[in-house]
Structure 1
Amino acid sequence: MSQFVFIKNLLAVFALSVLISACSSSRKSSGRVDGPPPSLSKPTPEKKKPEEKKETAKAPFNVPAFAKDVKKPVYNIALFAPLYLDSAFAGSNDIPGRTMPRYVLPGLEFYEGAQLALDSLQQQGYSLKVNVYDSKARQSVGSLIRSKALDGIDLIIGAVANPELKELSDFAREKEINFVSATFPNDAGINNNPFLFISNSTLKTHCEALHNYVQEAFANKNIVLFRRNTTFESRLAADFKNSYDKMESNKKSRIREVVWNEGTTPEEISKYLLTDKPNIIIVTALDEAGAKSLMKKLSVSATTYPLQIFGMPTWDVFKLKEPELKGLQVYYTSPYYNDRTDNYSRYIHDYFRKTYKARPSDMAFKGFDLTYYFVRLLKNNGVYFNGAVGTAPRVITNFNFQPVYLKDGENTPSYFENKNIFVIQKGDSADTKMNK
């Protein structure tokens, strides 16, 4: 990517407060209908009818704010991205070494995608005031909140991690502002904020979706879950067990759990495999070294036992180039899939090619997709669009935001989470989506 075209855009971000305005008009019609002439006879007094008690409309998701119809001529939006401007420029407009640091690019491309969405919405007549903030600037999120710089915001979109995620979530809950966590795959311990949207689904959601997929996709199967003896992987295994217990189906197959380590031999692994059924292998390792170590052990049995290996969302970046891994059928889960053939994706691709002489990354598509999706909800449904989020049309990918209740008996969501999980098969040149 052309580094210096990016630099030009970065400099503008320091004081970016984009006022997007458009003229709109509304016309009210009124008419008068002549009624019958008044009666000259003395009217008969009407008997008073007992007053009917009107039922109070129930607020969506039992959150009083969500029942409010708040629409504005101009909406105020805060966009947060990790741009690292202070580090990248080191007190001047020149980048040390004249090379853009790699750690800057994900946040920068997210911002570029979001800005492109805002430009597109501007052309459609949206009236927005957008403030862009560097979540890794010297002026912290906490100081922005204390200075009241974020007061009056109608929507927050943030590609942030902790501690910024928790700070923005607490602020959003207090001020009753919808906050979209765009990229962090975790709830950061948040369990009481119905104004929070988690776009990058939690691992618990991935486990449930993967379990349901393998149970439904294979009629006759041998499901074996391989985990290491760690607290983290034990918790993931428990999530799969909980999904099994919740699933109501007389065709579901039990999950056999195997604890493995580097000393586990291929012969020991083969004891859990069958020759007459598809062996559905679920691997809870998130790290590449651990995942590939187990796959190499499994590859020894691949010629004898039919194997389908399913892994975690972190596997999307793995390159299976090792000779032992050739020919293995390997799958992973993802909350985001883009084959880049739709009109929006082609528009983004053409813009980046013309402007930067480069291809946009997934972060650019996500920035565009989420910004367009939620700002359109804001414009069409008002500040509290939460009741309509389940029916909002897609932009690029399919989102399925559902309320999450972390505590038994809760009436108010802990947060909203994207429950749409894709199962994707890894390929030599391109990955393939397996489910809708």
Structure 2
Amino acid sequence: MNHLVSIKHLLSGLALLVLISSCSSTRKSTSKVDGPPPSLSKPKPEKKPEDNKKEAAKAPFNVPAFGKEVKKASYNIAFFAPLYLDSVFANSTEIPGRTMPRYVLPGLEFYEGAQLALDTLQQLGYNLKVTVYDSKARQSVSSLIRSKALDETDLILGAVSNPELKELSDFAKSKEINFVSGTYPNDGGISDNPFLYISNSTLKTHCDALQNYIQDAFTNKNIVLFRRNTAFETRLAADFKASYEKMESTRKSRIREVVWNEATTPEEISKYLLTDRTNAVIITALDEAGAKSMLRKLSVSAATYPLQIFGMPTWDVIKLKEPEFKGLQVYYSSPYFNDKTDYYSRYISDYFRRVYKARPSDMAFKGFDLTYYFIKLLYSNGVYFNSMVSNAPKVITNYNFLPVYLKEGEQTPSYFENKNIYIIQKGDSADIKMNK
């Protein structure tokens, strides 16, 4: 992407002087979208624009706020992304070297997608006051909270990690504001906030999905989990085994756990493989070096043993171009899949081609998707849309937000998490979705 064009577009839209001085700005449409997609519908006018609060007989999920109907003529949205503007423009408003630092790009691209969603919705008649905050600005999230700048917010959308995730979560809980965490694959230690939505599913959810898929996909299988002797991978192995124990199926096969290291030979690995059935191999390495090291060891056995290899969600960006990987059937899990053929994706791609002279990144698609999805929910159902999330129409990818109860016997969710996980096979030219 032409990020020099992108940052100029960003700065013009955020009212540069205000943004740099206070790390926030009211969002304005930054460039004309040549008409929203004709298939998108305008919001239905509210008969009563003033707040209308009704207590339900029984609040959904045992959260009293969720039993209220709060609809407004205009909604206040707080949008957080790690833009690092104070760092990039520490000495001037010019980009040093005319090249954006790599650490800026994910947050910038997520914002660009969200910006297009906001522009589109506003042209459709959605009355929104959107304030964009740089979560990595000198003015911290905690200071924003103390200044009461967020007190009138109706929805928080954020591409943030800790400590900002925890700070925003605590604030959202105290003010009963729904907060959507868009990109962080972790609950950040949060265990008591039913107003939190985790879109980028946790690793435990990935483990559940992979284990269930393997058990169901192969009737006659030998499941072997290879992990290294680290606390992190040991915990992942425990999650897989817990998922196995929880699964109620007469067809399930036990998971054999093997500890490996760089000195482990292909011959030692082959002792755990069988020739007469599918060997479903799970590798818990999240890093590319570890993943490829294990794949090289397995490639020696590929001609003798039928292998189906399952890796972690971080494998989505790993390229397997080396000759030794040719012919290996490798899969990974992901909460997000976009073949870029749907209507919205083509709309986004056309916009980016015209405005940025480049293709949108996956982060840009995610920014558009989440922003459009949740603001449609907000406008259709009011501030407390929580009971309707499971019925919300798809935009680009499918979401399945379900309540998570971390404490035994709890009646109130610890948070809501996207439980929709795709199993994806890595391909030479494009990855292939294996499940619905």
How high is the TM-score relative to the length of structure 1? Answer: 0.91
1:400 is the counterpart of 2:409: no
How many percent of aligned residue pairs carry the same amino acid? 77
1:195 matched residue in structure 2: 195
The more displaced of 277-286 and 317-326 is 317-326
2:63 matched residue in structure 1: 63
**Contact 1:312/1:333 (<8 A) preserved:** yes
1:316-343 CA-to-partner distances (Å, cap 9, x unmatched) read 1111122211111100000000000011
Aligned partners of 2:202 and 2:359: how far apart in 1? 28
Aligned-pair CA distance for 1:99: 1.4
**3-state SS of paired residue (2:360):** coil
1:140 matched residue in structure 2: 140
2:311 matched residue in structure 1: 311
1:10 matched residue in structure 2: 10
Aligned partners of 2:56 and 2:110: how far apart in 1? 43
2:36 matched residue in structure 1: none
Aligned partners of 1:112 and 1:291: how far apart in 2? 32
1:383-413 CA-to-partner distances (Å, cap 9, x unmatched) read 0000000111110000000000001100000
1:294 matched residue in structure 2: 294
1:369 matched residue in structure 2: 369
The aligned runs of 1:252-271 (5 Å cut-off) are 252-271=252-271
Aligned partners of 2:46 and 2:389: how far apart in 1? 26
For residue 269 of structure 2, what is the amino acid of its counterpart? I
**Contact 2:78/2:131 (<8 A) preserved:** yes
**Contact 1:19/1:128 (<8 A) preserved:** no
Aligned-pair CA distance for 1:97: 1.1
**3-state SS of paired residue (1:184):** coil
For residue 5 of structure 1, what is the amino acid of its counterpart? V
1:429 matched residue in structure 2: 429
- Runs of 4+, deviation exceeding 6 Å: none
Aligned partners of 2:277 and 2:2: how far apart in 1? 52
Aligned partners of 1:360 and 1:345: how far apart in 2? 9
1:282 matched residue in structure 2: 282
1:358 matched residue in structure 2: 358
Aligned partners of 2:143 and 2:71: how far apart in 1? 29
1:181 matched residue in structure 2: 181
**Contact 2:43/2:380 (<8 A) preserved:** no
Query: How many aligned residue pairs are there?
Result: 409
**Structure 1: gaps of 5 or more residues:** 29-54
**Contact 1:424/1:432 (<8 A) preserved:** yes
**Contact 1:227/1:237 (<8 A) preserved:** yes
**3-state SS of paired residue (2:76):** strand
1:260-288 CA-to-partner distances (Å, cap 9, x unmatched) read 11111111111111111000000111111
Aligned partners of 1:348 and 1:170: how far apart in 2? 34
Flag the 1:207–1:26 CA change in 2: closer, same or farther, 3 A: closer
The aligned runs of 1:24-423 (5 Å cut-off) are 57-423=57-423
Flag the 1:138–1:304 CA change in 2: closer, same or farther, 3 A: same
**3-state SS of paired residue (1:111):** helix
For residue 431 of structure 1, what is the amino acid of its counterpart? D
**Contact 1:283/1:311 (<8 A) preserved:** yes
For residue 262 of structure 2, what is the amino acid of its counterpart? E
1:228-267 CA-to-partner distances (Å, cap 9, x unmatched) read 1111111111111111111111011111111111111111
**3-state SS of paired residue (2:27):** strand
- Cα RMSD of the aligned pairs, angstroms, is 1.7
1:69-95 CA-to-partner distances (Å, cap 9, x unmatched) read 000110000000111111111232111
**3-state SS of paired residue (1:16):** strand
Aligned partners of 2:407 and 2:43: how far apart in 1? 46
How high is the TM-score relative to the length of structure 2? Answer: 0.91
Aligned partners of 1:409 and 1:316: how far apart in 2? 36
For residue 389 of structure 1, what is the amino acid of its counterpart? V
Flag the 1:25–1:263 CA change in 2: closer, same or farther, 3 A: closer
Aligned partners of 2:226 and 2:329: how far apart in 1? 16
Aligned partners of 2:46 and 2:186: how far apart in 1? 43
**Contact 1:334/1:424 (<8 A) preserved:** yes
**Contact 1:10/1:85 (<8 A) preserved:** no
For residue 375 of structure 1, what is the amino acid of its counterpart? I
Aligned partners of 1:65 and 1:409: how far apart in 2? 21
Aligned partners of 1:87 and 1:230: how far apart in 2? 35
**3-state SS of paired residue (1:275):** coil
Q: Answer with 1 or 2: which has the greater Rg.
A: 1
Flag the 1:200–1:25 CA change in 2: closer, same or farther, 3 A: closer
Aligned partners of 1:428 and 1:90: how far apart in 2? 43
**Contact 1:404/1:414 (<8 A) preserved:** yes
Aligned-pair CA distance for 1:25: 5.8
**Contact 1:425/1:434 (<8 A) preserved:** yes
Aligned partners of 2:215 and 2:262: how far apart in 1? 29
Flag the 1:256–1:392 CA change in 2: closer, same or farther, 3 A: same
For residue 63 of structure 1, what is the amino acid of its counterpart? V
1:51 matched residue in structure 2: none
Aligned-pair CA distance for 1:219: 0.9
**Contact 2:223/2:280 (<8 A) preserved:** yes
**3-state SS of paired residue (2:354):** helix
**Contact 2:329/2:425 (<8 A) preserved:** yes
